[in-house]
Chain A
Amino acid sequence: MTDSPLLLDCDILVGHDVTTGRWGRPENVAKVFAESGISGGVVSGLRAVHFDVPSGNNEARQVADGNGWTTCPVLDLRDPLGAEKELERQLASDTPPRAIRLAPTSQSVEPTYPAFGHVVQLLVNAGLTIFAEGDVRKVGPALRGLGARVVFLDTHFYYLGDFVVLARSEPGFHTSTRMLTGPDSLEIVAAEVGAERLVLGCRTPFHETRSVIRRLLSSKLSPDEIAQAGSRSLTTLLEPAC
């Protein structure tokens, strides 16, 4: 890379990771961003993932507003009726979100459950981008055929082939770069379905952000492809659907 591209993290989490006991503090995110050359990104609240959706989403919005980031509310897949109400509340706000985060693994909801399909359909109908945690091999097939715009946040390079196979027939499917850590993973996705399907995702401050950034910047992608994955893909995904 010659010039430093704009970098945005599509996968910021704040709050308590109850599975490990670690915390995502906004000030820690800001510190990692400063050290890594990241300008901002999309933030969700673990309080919403693990405990209470409305207050967790309010907390994430407050963090986003206070730091110049973009908020990404969470819906609880264990409570599809509550998800309906929360989505209604979010869409009625002065600044409605452009994306919603789903955490089926953390919430122990299989993609085959009725709640998952119902919530996904609500999001597709509302023209929102879906940021989806979980194994792409399980979550991906459940999102096919809907015209959904999705970023798979947990695509590991072991399953890169599964993502590519899905993405070939689903123009709305994108993947976070976070675990595409093989020597040619980013390059294979770009060659197969285009760099516009790559979205920089670091899961700051829980994942090693510097590793994700270094992988992208030292990749064999062209400077334009790096800029695309570094921020342009995310920016496009946050624009209103036509």
Chain B
Amino acid sequence: MLIDVHAHWGPWFFSMDVASIDANIDGLDRFGIDLQLVSAIEAIVYDAPLGNRSLAKQLPADPRLRGMIVVDPRRLDEARADLDELLAGDGRTRWVGAKIHTEYSRTPMTSPAMQAAIELTTEYGLPTLVHTWGDTVVDLADVAVRIPDARVIAGHMGANGWPRVPEAADRTDRIWFEPCWSAPEANRIRWILDRIDPGRMMFGTDATLIDPSIALGALEAADLTPDEHEAVTHRNATALFSL
């Protein structure tokens, strides 16, 4: 069982051709991914409410896809409307979490607006995947400390800030770590799992921006124990997102 907790759908502004949901499905098939939690690129880089609705139309394309509702910290009233609308009825069977990007939303991790956004997603009971880079992986842990019941996933595990993951993990037990990165430095996953509980890390790819082979190669290099493998590939995600 392999669950990808960090993926996207839609076109990018780089020289690549991944606009179709077929690009997601191709990756699921080729790399044996059983479930993929997807947010809309349109929602992240341009217009969150519009992008969330665009993704809603795509999710039925494959039963392995689940949605992540993008929240723009600068548009919280509209985000609340999105949450009410998309989670209504049986919406929670399709939408299982929230996604917040710090850089595209131009909202620093330490800002009041970021805390308010995570308070909102927490109010709706959604685990929230937050883009982290460098020291912000620790800053996110501090935000989680300040919000009772918040459950956050540090997307990219801080990327080049990965040596600070154990410090972030010590701040609170309500932060998890997802290690995808387009330029992965060697041996990060093994080094971190030697220092934190394997219950705190979960697999992600950043597809369809990044090819899933990159995350899978890094996982292979970590030489996981059977228990670590089970935890990272699906057990932690299944529990956190109630999959």
Binds A, one of B50-58, B112-120, B150-158, B178-186: B178-186
Residues of chain A from 33 to 88 with CB closer than 8 A to chain B in the complex = 35
Q: Which residue from A20, A184, A208, A215 sits with its C-beta under 8 Å from B221?
A: A208
CA distance A156 to B15 in the complex (A): 11
Q: Which residue from A164, A184, A211 sits with its C-beta under 8 Å from B184?
A: A211
| A207 close to chain B: CB less than 8 A | yes
CA distance A218 to B212 in the complex (A): 10
CB-CB under 8 A from B208, the residues of chain A are 183
Is the Cβ of A214 less than 8 Å from the Cβ of B186? no
Is the Cβ of B14 less than 8 Å from the Cβ of A157? yes
How far in angstroms is the closest Cβ of chain A from B210? Answer: 5
Binds A, one of B16-24, B83-91, B139-147: B16-24
Is the Cβ of B14 less than 8 Å from the Cβ of A181? no
Q: Which residue from B14, B17, B187, B216 sits with its C-beta under 8 Å from A214?
A: B216
| B226 close to chain A: CB less than 8 A | no
CA distance A157 to B18 in the complex (A): 13
CA distance A178 to B220 in the complex (A): 17
Query: How extensive is the interface on chain A, given as a class?
Result: 20 to 34
CA distance A208 to B188 in the complex (A): 9
Is the Cβ of B220 less than 8 Å from the Cβ of A184? no
How far in angstroms is the closest Cβ of chain B from A22? Answer: 8
| A209 close to chain B: CB less than 8 A | yes
CB-CB under 8 A from B30, the residues of chain A are 218
CA distance A204 to B184 in the complex (A): 12
CA distance A206 to B183 in the complex (A): 11
Residues of chain A from 125 to 178 with CB closer than 8 A to chain B in the complex = 156-158, 160-161, 164, 178
Is the Cβ of A212 less than 8 Å from the Cβ of B186? no
CB-CB under 8 A from A209, the residues of chain B are 186, 221
CB-CB under 8 A from A157, the residues of chain B are 14-16, 182
Contact with A along B4-43 (1 / 0, CB 8 A): 0000000000111110000100010011000000000000
Contact with A along B204-223 (1 / 0, CB 8 A): 00011111011111101100
CB-CB under 8 A from B188, the residues of chain A are 208
How far in angstroms is the closest Cβ of chain B from A78? Answer: 25
| A96 close to chain B: CB less than 8 A | no
How far in angstroms is the closest Cβ of chain B from A199? Answer: 17
Is the Cβ of B182 less than 8 Å from the Cβ of A214? no
CB-CB under 8 A from B213, the residues of chain A are 211, 214-215, 218
How far in angstroms is the closest Cβ of chain A from B23? Answer: 6
| A210 close to chain B: CB less than 8 A | yes
Q: Which residue from A179, A213, A214 sits with its C-beta under 8 Å from B183?
A: A179
Q: Which residue from B185, B211, B221 sits with its C-beta under 8 Å from A182?
A: B211
Is the Cβ of B14 less than 8 Å from the Cβ of A183? no
CB-CB under 8 A from B184, the residues of chain A are 207-208, 211
CA distance A20 to B186 in the complex (A): 12
Contact with A along B140-178 (1 / 0, CB 8 A): 000000000000000000000000000000000000000
A183-B220 CB under 8 A given contacts A157-B182, A207-B184, A208-B186: no
Is the Cβ of B186 less than 8 Å from the Cβ of A207? yes
Is the Cβ of B15 less than 8 Å from the Cβ of A208? no
CB-CB under 8 A from B214, the residues of chain A are 181, 208, 211, 214-215
- Using a CB–CB distance below 8 Å, which chain A residues touch chain B? 20, 32, 35, 156-158, 160-161, 164, 178-179, 181-185, 188, 204-215, 218
Q: Which 8 A-B pairs have the closest CB atoms?
A: A211-B217, A161-B15, A214-B217, A210-B217, A208-B184, A210-B221, A214-B213, A211-B214
Please list 15 pairs of residues, one from A and one from B, whose beta carbons are closer than 8 Å in the complex, sorted by A's number: A157-B14, A160-B15, A182-B16, A182-B18, A184-B16, A205-B186, A206-B186, A207-B186, A210-B220, A211-B217, A211-B218, A212-B217, A215-B211, A215-B213, A218-B213
- Using a CB–CB distance below 8 Å, which chain B residues touch chain A? 14-18, 23, 27, 30-31, 182-188, 207-211, 213-218, 220-221
